[in-house]
């Protein structure tokens, strides 16, 4: 793809973004609440007996177990079978949809539902690889807290336009062993000071790993002179906007684990390194990760989490349906179930997964509201109040640009 088309794409995305921010949000919620119920019933009828191949990252046993639970419930309630296709990389599922489009298969595709957000979503949407809009048709969408949690309809600032349905909320957190580290450094600047006195004890996953890139964004949000600039697509001022980040990383690098010559390839690897005491700080894009790992014997019981004082990078994650899905109706039934109070409550249970809900708890029926209020957090999980302020994701075009520049500077 040439530069021009990229700029065109980003420009059109910008227009859509502004439109979405200005007017569409309330309008859409209104439309969602008036979903024709008869249609939905006909749809669930058609979905009966379908098998939904749900392509979702399979690297976390906690999440895999939750998906198994979803499969059992959906089978029971709607007679829809869910097969979890465990991915190592969501990109490989995107690649498969591309292959199917290349082969001219516009129906009967092999993927029915895909766990997605950010750059992958932007790319699939841009290339016409998604079915929709469908999200607002889902009856349970009316519970989604689009007002207080705008990331449920603005995925990395890109309007979802109903091409994906929200599933959970994520916050960028750091973790440490409080028996080892008494007071963790709670800002990018203090982290640098700490690293100077503790050489070799900190590192981050290598971009383009999702968490590694997120660390760059987290730091950039604190260091950038004009934070709002990041909400708009990358432009000619990339160098000027990101200069503070590179200056920071240049200073940090010699004090990193392995002298900054090597980086762990994923955040999970980084957590194993925290457990093995190769480093003193790890990070994840899920506030419940540390609690889950403690429960599973993967991290010491004294593990705790923290965020930077400037706020925590946060986003939503979604499910989307490829344009050629075989079991489209079944996929919508599953997507709808995922934002049901029942499924969201179970998901937020720290004993299950601990992933925060996308729903507006205050708007739920009394009984469900109470159950949400009674949920305890895991031992290492911060409360929603502590996880503030939340910083919105930059526009997805920053991802590629940051990764390319990182690669140019440190990747070879």
CB nearer to other proteins: pick between 325 and 364: 325
Q: Could you give the CA distance from residue 149 to residue 151 in angstroms, rounded to a whole number?
A: 5
Q: Which of residues 48-107 bind other proteins (CB under 8 A)?
A: 53, 55, 57-61, 65, 83, 85-96, 98-105
Closest distance between other proteins and the C-beta of residue 50, in Å?
Answer: 14
CB of 258 to other proteins, least distance (A): 5
Q: What is the smallest separation between the CB atom of 54 and other proteins, expressed in angstroms?
A: 10
Instruction: Please name which of 212, 211, 194, 210 lies closest in space to residue 202, comparing C-alpha atoms.
Output: 194
170's enclosing H/E stretch is: strand 164-171
Taking CB under 8 A as the criterion, which residues in 272-331 touch other proteins? 272-273, 275-278, 296-298, 300
Residue 11 touches other proteins, criterion: CB under 8 A? no
Task: Report the Cα 279 to chain-centroid distance in Å.
Answer: 25
For residues 84 and 68, is the Cβ–Cβ distance under 8 A? yes
Tokens linked to 399: 């991802």
Separate counts of helices (H) and strands (E) for the chain: 15, 11
Q: What single-letter DSSP state applies at residue 364?
A: S
Which is nearer to other proteins, 78 or 263 (by Cβ)? 263
- Cβ 204 vs Cβ 215: under 8 Å: yes
Which CB sits closer to other proteins, 120 or 314? 120
- For other proteins, the closer of residues 12 and 296 by Cβ is 296
* Interface segment toward other proteins; rule CB under 8 A; list 15-23, 263-271, 363-371, 380-388: 263-271
Q: Which residue do the tokens 């750091």 mark?
A: 174
Q: Which is nearer to other proteins, 203 or 348 (CB)?
A: 203
- Report, in Å, the least distance between residue 195 CB and other proteins: 13
User: Rule CB under 8 A: which of 329-368 touch other proteins?
Assistant: none
**The two three-digit tokens of residue 342, written as one number:** 């029942």
Indicate the helix (H) or strand (E) that contains 87: strand 81-87
Q: Closest separation between CB of residue 199 and other proteins, Å?
A: 8
Name which of 60 and 222 has its Cβ closer to other proteins: 60
Comparing CB distances to other proteins, the nearer of 75 and 277 is: 277
Assess contact for 290 and 305: CB atoms under 8 A.
yes
E strands, 286-385, in order: 303-306, 312-320
| Closer Cβ to other proteins, 183 or 296, answer by number | 296
Q: Give, as ranges, the residues between 384 and 403 that touch other proteins (CB under 8 A).
A: 399-400
Contact call for residues 339 and 143 (beta carbons, < 8 A): yes
Helix (H, G, I), strand (E, B) or coil at 55: strand
- Chain residues 196-225 in contact with other proteins, contact rule CB under 8 A: 199-200, 206, 208
- Minimum CB distance to other proteins smaller for 1 or for 37: 1
Using the contact rule CB under 8 A, the part of the chain among 138-146, 239-247, 271-279, 331-339 near other proteins is 271-279
Residues 101-160 within binding reach of other proteins (CB under 8 A): 101-105, 108, 110-111, 118-120, 122-123, 127
> Measured from the CB of residue 102, what is the shortest distance to other proteins in angstroms?
4
Determine if 247 is a binding residue for other proteins (CB under 8 A).
no
Strands 390-392 and 312-320: parallel
Closer to other proteins at the Cβ: 73 or 271? 271
Among 39, 193, 251, 265, binds other proteins (CB under 8 A): 265
Q: How far apart are the first and last CA of the chain?
A: 24
C-beta pairs of 70-76 under 8 Å, 24+ apart in sequence: 70/334, 70/337, 70/338, 70/343, 73/337, 73/342, 73/343, 74/333, 74/334, 74/337
Choosing from 46, 190, 269, 369, the residue that interacts with other proteins (CB under 8 A) is 269
Task: Please work out, in degrees rounded to the nearest 5, the angle formed at the alpha carbon of residue 12 by the alpha carbons of 398 and 389.
Answer: 45
- Residues in the interface with other proteins (CB under 8 A) total 71
Q: Which stretch binds other proteins (CB under 8 A): 143-151, 185-193, 244-252, 269-277?
A: 269-277
In contact, 395 and 158? CB cutoff 8 Å: yes
């Amino acid at each position: 793809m040439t530069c021009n088309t990229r700029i065109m794409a980003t420009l059109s995305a910008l227009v859509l973004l502004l439109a979405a921010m200005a007017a569409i949000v309330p309008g859409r919620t209104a439309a969602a609440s008036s979903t024709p119920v008869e249609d939905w019933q006909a749809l669930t009828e058609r979905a009966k007996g379908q098998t939904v191949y749900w392509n979702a990252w399979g690297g976390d046993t906690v999440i895999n177990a939750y998906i198994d639970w979803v499969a059992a419930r959906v089978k029971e309630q709607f007679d829809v079978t869910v097969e979890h296709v465990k991915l190592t990389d969501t990109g490989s599922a995107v690649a498969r949809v591309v292959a199917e489009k290349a082969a001219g298969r516009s129906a009967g595709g092999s993927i029915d539902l895909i766990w997605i957000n950010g750059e992958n979503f932007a790319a699939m949407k841009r290339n016409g690889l998604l079915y929709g809009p469908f999200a607002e048709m889902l009856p349970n969408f009316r519970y989604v807290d689009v007002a207080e949690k705008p990331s449920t309809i603005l995925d990395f600032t890109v309007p979802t336009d109903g091409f994906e349905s929200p599933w959970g909320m994520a916050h960028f957190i750091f973790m440490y062993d409080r028996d080892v580290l008494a007071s963790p450094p709670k800002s990018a600047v203090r982290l640098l000071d700490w690293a100077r006195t503790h050489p070799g004890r900190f590192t981050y996953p290598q971009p383009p790993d999702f968490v590694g890139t997120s660390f760059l964004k987290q730091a950039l949000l604190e260091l950038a002179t004009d934070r709002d600039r990041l909400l708009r697509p990358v432009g000619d001022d990339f160098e000027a906007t990101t200069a503070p980040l590179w200056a920071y990383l240049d200073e940090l690098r010699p004090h990193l684990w392995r002298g900054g010559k090597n980086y762990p390839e994923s955040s999970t690897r980084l957590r194993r390194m925290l457990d093995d005491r190769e480093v003193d700080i790890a990070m994840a894009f899920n506030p419940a990760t540390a609690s889950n790992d403690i429960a599973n014997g993967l991290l010491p019981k004294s593990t705790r989490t923290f965020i930077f004082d400037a706020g925590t990078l946060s986003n939503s994650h979604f499910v989307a349906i490829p344009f050629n899905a075989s079991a489209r109706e079944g996929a919508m039934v599953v997507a709808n179930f995922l934002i049901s109070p029942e499924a969201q409550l179970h998901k937020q249970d720290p004993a299950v997964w601990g992933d925060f809900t996308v729903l507006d708890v205050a708007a739920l029926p009394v009984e469900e509201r109470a159950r949400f209020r009674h949920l305890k957090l895991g031992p290492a999980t911060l409360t929603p109040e502590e996880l503030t302020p939340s910083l919105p994701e930059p526009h997805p075009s920053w991802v590629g640009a940051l990764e390319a520049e990182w690669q140019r500077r440190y990747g070879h």
